[in-house]
A = this chain, B = another copy of it.
Amino acid sequence: MEDHWGNSPSSDDRVPGTDLHLPLTGKGSKRDQLMHALREAISSGRLAPGTRLPPYRALAKDLGLALNTVGAAYGELVAEGWLTARQGSGTRVAQRSRPLPRERTHRSAPPPRRPAHDLMPTSPDAAAFPRTAWQAAARRAMAAAPNDAFGVGDPHGRIELRTQLTEYLARARGVRTAPHRIIICAGVAHGLSLLGTVLRRPVAVEAYGLDFHRDLLTAAGRDLVPLPVDAHGADVGALPGTGAGAVLLTPAHQFPTGGPLHPERRAAVIDWARATGGLVLEDDYDGEFRYDREPVGAVQGLDPDRVVYLGSLSKSLTPALRLGWMAVPDHLVDELLAAKGSRELWSGSVDQLTLAEFLAGGAYDRHLRRMRQTYRRRRDQLVTTLARQAPHITVSGIAAGLHAVLDLPPGTEQQALRAAGRLGVALAGLAPFRHPDSGMPARDGLVIGYGTPPDHAFAGALNALCMALPAAPQRTPRG
């Protein structure tokens, strides 16, 4: 290489090694450090394009490096395009056109300031994640995993997990399925996106629901038809005549208004699906948490050929593990797997195997029992605090889940949200959940999540909430 580069100590335009200020620091070998220092010197402009580098003997001596360390670094930087080496011309910094004037640099917005009190209806109690039990399940799963668990995965999902879910969902949620009819996905939203691409006709949605889910279905090309919602859930009697081929429901606990779907409506939606070849998409997002009695089983059990059941860990354990599942009719399995794609975007195998162990060992049941007590206590505390400090506010949807709805006098929702913001309370109004074309009268209210705050901060969060609520109407003195 020496011959080829042709440097010699007498070259007149060489940068003496001592002037280069190449600090060799950081991790890695001396060669790595030298390469790093040279790249920095070039990219900062200290070594301009066309500059001849010192012969590597000279640089090696100056920096106290072995000859072939410098030779190797030069060689690598030539291969990478930083330097050029031509017979007779030595090693030089590569010529490069000037960069365009830099486009306006958008700095990422700084992360939003964390609110003092988080009552958003989004998340379970992160502090309650059962680290030790999860870690123990991971250890068992890792020890038991066959080698193919670390190869290219099956988008269907690990069979170990699908088998455990079949048993668990039957026992805890009344779901009737089989391992080959379960598809593992990265969460309910992922499942809905896949369904959106497989369905052909419009999808009926609850007039109050997650705008985020509506957007996913729309992005997948589906037209949406809103269904009215009342205290008994969605009015599925309105389905005939809408042209909908599927209906997305939250039967265990209507989101966000909070009622369970009435038994007669459960029966009616199955009848509709059977009569029309329609499909029920059952989002069972928090079905495990019910406080007034045992959890209400899934609609799916009534007809596994007409219902797609969707669930995930997001409310029951953590949204940080991207794990969800669909129990689907037999005739949709292949189409949904094709939509999922043969190569990418499935959930990590280690997490899947760990969850299978977590289910098999009973740790999931234990965690749910514990959290049911925790959340029930918080719900009671919310109700008691409101009864004492804001008795004029009606609270509903409290039989289940991680959130409740506070009904507000008409026209006061925005004002309450602003007041909450000033008090450092993050919470959601009802408005964003309302389908814009639902035709239902807008209802003023707040959706209060009680899962997120840590235990010690919950009372303070409730007090701040009560301060943000509209005052009781003044009694007009008679006469």
Q: Does A350 sit within 8 A of B, measured CB to CB?
A: yes
Query: A99-155: which have CB < 8 Å to B?
Result: 99-100, 102-109, 111, 122-123, 126-127, 129, 131, 134-135, 138-139, 142-143, 145, 147-154
Given the complex of chains A and B, what is the CA–CA distance between A143 and B176 in angstroms? Answer: 38
Q: Give the Cβ gap from A125 to chain B, nearest Cβ, in Å.
A: 9
Q: Given contacts A80-B301, A348-B322, are A126 and B148 in contact (CB under 8 A)?
A: yes
Given the complex of chains A and B, what is the CA–CA distance between A108 and B333 in angstroms? Answer: 7
Q: Does A468 sit within 8 A of B, measured CB to CB?
A: no
Q: Given contacts A108-B333, A271-B97, A334-B106, are A76 and B135 in contact (CB under 8 A)?
A: no
Q: Does A15 sit within 8 A of B, measured CB to CB?
A: no
Given the complex of chains A and B, what is the CA–CA distance between A274 and B98 in angstroms? Answer: 7
- Interface contact B28-A330, CB-CB below 8 Å: no
Q: Does A421 sit within 8 A of B, measured CB to CB?
A: no
Q: Does A364 sit within 8 A of B, measured CB to CB?
A: no
A271 cross-chain contacts in B, Cβ below 8 A: 96-97
- Interface contact B80-A174, CB-CB below 8 Å: yes
**Among A54-62, A337-345, A401-409, which stretch is in contact with chain B?**
A337-345
- Interface contact B334-A80, CB-CB below 8 Å: no
How many interface residues does A have (CB within 8 Å)? 112
Q: Does A472 sit within 8 A of B, measured CB to CB?
A: no
A174 cross-chain contacts in B, Cβ below 8 A: 35-36, 39, 80
Q: Give the Cβ gap from A120 to chain B, nearest Cβ, in Å.
A: 9
Query: A302-360: which have CB < 8 Å to B?
Result: 302-303, 305-306, 318-323, 330-331, 333-334, 337, 343-351
Given the complex of chains A and B, what is the CA–CA distance between A154 and B319 in angstroms? Answer: 11
Write the A289-305 contact mask toward B (1 if CB under 8 angstroms, else 0). 00001101111011101
The chain B residue sitting closest to A346, CB to CB, is B322
- Interface contact A171-B39, CB-CB below 8 Å: no
A302 cross-chain contacts in B, Cβ below 8 A: 80-82, 96
14 A-B contacts (beta carbon < 8 Å): A75-B293, A80-B299, A80-B301, A84-B263, A96-B271, A102-B305, A106-B334, A108-B334, A109-B334, A126-B150, A152-B320, A190-B345, A320-B349, A322-B346
Q: State the A residues within 8 Å of B (CB).
A: 26-28, 31-32, 35-36, 39, 43, 72, 75-82, 84, 94-100, 102-109, 111, 122-123, 126-127, 129, 131, 134-135, 138-139, 142-143, 145, 147-154, 156, 167, 170-172, 174, 176, 180, 186-187, 189-190, 212, 260, 263-264, 266-267, 270-271, 274-275, 277, 293-294, 296-299, 301-303, 305-306, 318-323, 330-331, 333-334, 337, 343-351, 452, 454
